[in-house]
C-alpha cells in the first residue's frame, strides 16, 4: 500500500515538474523537481526520465499536430545547416534529434574545429544572422572543457545553436543526464536517412 502511495506522489511531482519546465518557470530538471516537491509537500523525487516522459505527454496534449510540423521543419533546417558545415563533422543533438522538441526549443548542432572563427565565417557567408556567440566552460568528473556557442536566427524565425568543440572530442560520447543513455545524435548522413525514411522518428530509450 505504501509503495502505491509513493508511486502516486512521484507521478504527481513528475507532472508538476514537467509543467514548470513546459511553461519555462524552471529551466533545469533538478530545480523543477525540487520546486514541484516543495509545492506538493512531497519528500520523494521522480527520476529525470519520469519528468521527461511527462513533459513529452504535456507537449503532445498542448501542441497537437503543430508539434509534428515543427519537428519536421527543424530537422530539415538542421540538415541545411549541417550540409553547410559538413567539413566540421556536424551532429544534430538535443530535443530536435530526440524528437521531443516543443515550441521555443532550439535546434542544437555540435561541430568540431580547431578554430571556431572558421565556423562563424561559414555561417555568415551563407547569410545566417548571428544573434550571439560566447565561450562556455563546464566541469564534469573533475575535468574542465570549453566550447564555443553560436546562436543563429533562421529565416523561419526559429533559432539554432551551433556548438564548436575541439576535434579531440569527436570520438567521445557523453552520458545524457535526462535519459541515462549516450548522446549519440545524428550525423549528416544519418539525419538525411531519417528524413527520407521516418522523419518523425523518436530517439529515446524504450
The whole-angstrom separation of Cα 132 and Cα 137 is: 16
Residue extents of the structural domains in the chain: 2-63, 65-197
Chain segment 37-65, per-residue pLDDT in tens: 999 999 999 999 999 999 999 999 999 99
**What pLDDT, on a 0 to 100 scale, did the predictor assign at position 206?**
76
Which stretches of the chain are DSSP H helices?
2-22, 29-40, 48-63, 65-84, 94-98, 116-125, 188-197
Residue written as grid cell 511553461: 23
* pLDDT over 60 at 1, yes or no: no
pLDDT for position 144: 81
Confidence (pLDDT) at 82: 98
Q: Encode pLDDT of 91-143 as tens digits.
A: 999 999 999 999 889 999 999 999 999 999 999 999 999 999 999 998 776 77
Q: What pLDDT score does 30 carry?
A: 95
| Mean pLDDT score of the chain | 94
Q: What is the predicted pLDDT for the residue at 5?
A: 85
Look at residue 2 in the predicted model and tell me its pLDDT: 59
Are residues 111 and 164 in contact, defined by beta-carbon separation less than 8 angstroms? yes
What count of other Cβ atoms lies within 10 Å of the Cβ of residue 38?
11
Q: In this structure, what are the phi and psi dihedrals at residue 171, rounded to the nearest 5 degrees?
A: -100, 10
pLDDT > 70: percent of the chain? 98
Q: Looking at the predicted structure, is the pLDDT value of residue 191 above 70?
A: yes
CA distances from 60 to 28, 93, 101 (A): 20, 20, 10
Q: Which fold has domain 65-197?
A: Beta Polymerase; domain 2 (3.30.460)
Rounded mean pLDDT, 68-97:
97
- Is the confidence at residue 4, as pLDDT, over 90? no
**Does the model's pTM come out above 0.95?**
no
Amino acid at each position: 500500500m505504501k509503495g502505491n502511495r509513493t508511486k502516486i506522489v512521484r507521478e504527481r511531482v513528475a507532472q508538476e515538474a514537467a509543467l514548470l519546465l513546459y511553461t519555462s518557470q524552471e529551466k533545469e530538471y533538478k530545480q523543477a523537481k525540487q520546486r514541484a516537491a516543495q509545492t506538493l509537500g512531497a519528500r520523494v523525487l521522480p527520476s529525470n526520465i519520469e519528468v521527461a516522459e511527462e513533459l513529452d505527454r504535456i507537449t503532445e496534449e498542448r501542441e497537437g499536430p503543430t508539434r509534428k510540423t515543427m519537428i519536421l521543419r527543424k530537422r530539415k533546417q538542421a540538415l541545411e545547416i549541417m550540409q553547410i558545415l559538413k567539413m566540421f563533422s556536424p551532429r544534430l543533438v538535443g530535443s530536435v534529434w530526440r524528437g521531443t522538441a516543443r515550441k521555443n526549443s532550439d535546434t542544437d548542432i555540435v561541430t568540431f574545429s580547431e578554430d571556431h572563427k572558421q565556423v562563424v565565417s561559414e555561417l555568415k557567408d551563407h547569410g545566417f544572422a548571428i544573434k550571439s556567440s560566447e565561450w562556455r566552460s563546464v566541469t564534469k568528473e573533475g575535468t574542465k572543457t570549453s566550447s564555443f556557442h553560436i546562436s543563429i536566427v533562421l529565416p523561419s524565425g526559429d533559432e539554432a545553436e551551433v556548438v564548436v568543440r575541439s576535434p579531440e572530442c569527436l570520438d567521445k560520447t557523453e552520458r545524457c543526464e535526462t535519459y541515462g543513455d549516450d548522446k549519440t545524435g545524428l550525423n549528416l548522413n544519418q539525419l538525411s536517412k531519417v528524413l527520407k525514411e521516418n522523419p518523425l522518428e523518436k530517439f529515446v530509450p524504450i
